[in-house]
Amino acid sequence: MIKMITNPETKICASIAGSTSPLGCLIHNIAFEHLKLNYVYFAFAVTDVENAIKGMRALSIRGLSVGLPHKIEVMKYLDKIDETAELIGAVNTIINENGILTGYNSDWIGAMTALKEVTKIKGKKILVVGAGGAANAIVYGLAKEGGKIKILNRTAFKAEDIAKRFDIKFGSLEELKDISKYDIVMNATSVGFKNPNESLISKESLSSKQIVFDTIFQPLESKLIKEAKEIGCKVVPGWKMLLYQAIWQFEKYTGNKAPVKVMEKVLKEWAKE
Ligand code: ATR
């Protein structure tokens, strides 16, 4: 049981998103408790982003995780935006240093840390499917690491916009019929989220030498990841991206090394439900 008794020294962190999810609270509070840190983490469902940020200042909240749909809007209320978050065009973490609020993006760090566990990125031919917030962060990371990227999306102008910003190729979902030339195939759409029977990328289009990455973290093993494993591909499931971005946030909030195993356990238990 997490002790929620605070004192004037307790540092407060929280998530702000359109709806509350218990995940941030679980993962961070258990890690705080594990390291006996005087921190506590709350989850807030927020519609008025401007006043939420004023509240962060007024209450000296140490750190905020920012979830959908506020990752873009929140940027205009901060004092500084980290260069990377500016390039991605979204903030998912805010740190309060003596009243100065700085926005960061740890989504790309989570994705690249997870992918680099199984492969080098430089020079690899990489297919990214999707052009939303997750895809922006992933493409930024891949481009930085020297990947040769093509992006496909259902809505063409969104893929084109990312392609222009990062100087990469783009195309339509029609191209999913033949993806044999790619070393790494990444799903950054929401297809498959909470639906174990849904995938945009068919089993038949994959081959065993390919590495398959999915941003979907619920179910823990998406249809895409399950089928890719059956073929013999190396896989990176979405919960790893989620875990590594949370680890980055935890370390930024506290200055302590994150208890990775403890955080991984609680995340997996939560995603199974
Ligand atoms: P996130 O921030 O999690 O990436 P998002 O910004 O809403 O979420 O992006 C969702 C992505 O999934 C988009 O690329 C979306 O395609 P569109 O840009 O055409 O909307 C994609 N997506 C969602 N449902 C889809 C579906 N049924 N078929 C194909 N793509 C889908």
Nearest residue (CA) to ligand 1, atom 6: 132
Which residue carries 């998912």 as its tokens?
92
The three-state (H, E, C) secondary structure of 135-202, written as one string: HHHHHHHHHHCCCEEEEECCCHHHHHHHHHHHCCEEECHHHHHCCCCCCEEEECCCCCCCCCCCCCCC
Ligand 1 atom nearest the C-alpha of 190 is 12
**DSSP for residue 256:** S
Query: What is the distance in A from the centroid of ligand 1 to the CA of 130?
Result: 6
Q: How far is CA 245 from the centre of its chain?
A: 6
Rounded Cα gap, residues 127 and 170, in angstroms: 10
21 CB burial (10 A radius; 0-12, 13-18, 19+): middle
* Ligand 1 contact via 67 beta carbon (within 6 Å): no
Note the pLDDT of residue 242.
Answer: 93
Note the pLDDT of residue 21.
Answer: 83
Q: How far is CA 214 from the centre of its chain?
A: 11
Which residue carries 């102008």 as its tokens?
157
Tell me the helices (H) and strands (E) count for the chain, helix number first.
9, 12
Residues in the chain: 273
- Tell me whether residue 234 is one of the annotated catalytic residues: no
Tens of pLDDT, residue by residue, the chain (273 residues): 455 667 878 999 999 999 888 899 999 999 999 999 999 999 999 999 999 999 999 999 999 999 989 999 999 999 999 999 999 999 999 999 999 999 999 999 999 999 999 999 999 999 999 999 999 999 999 999 999 999 999 999 999 999 999 999 999 999 999 999 999 999 999 999 999 999 999 999 999 999 999 999 999 999 999 999 999 999 999 999 999 999 999 999 999 999 999 999 999 998 877
* Ligand 1 contact via 91 beta carbon (within 6 Å): no
Helices (H), 78-155: 83-88, 107-116, 133-144
* Ligand 1 contact via 201 beta carbon (within 6 Å): no
Amino acid at 202: S
Q: What 3-state DSSP class applies to 43? A: strand
Nearest Cα to 28, choosing from 6, 17, 13, 10? Answer: 13
Note the pLDDT of residue 2.
Answer: 55
Catalytic residue among 3, 11, 54, 71: 71
Note the pLDDT of residue 272.
Answer: 79
Answer yes or no: are the C-beta atoms of 65 and 92 closer than 8 Å.
yes
Given phi > 0 = left and psi -120 to 50 = alpha, else beta, which region is 88?
A: alpha
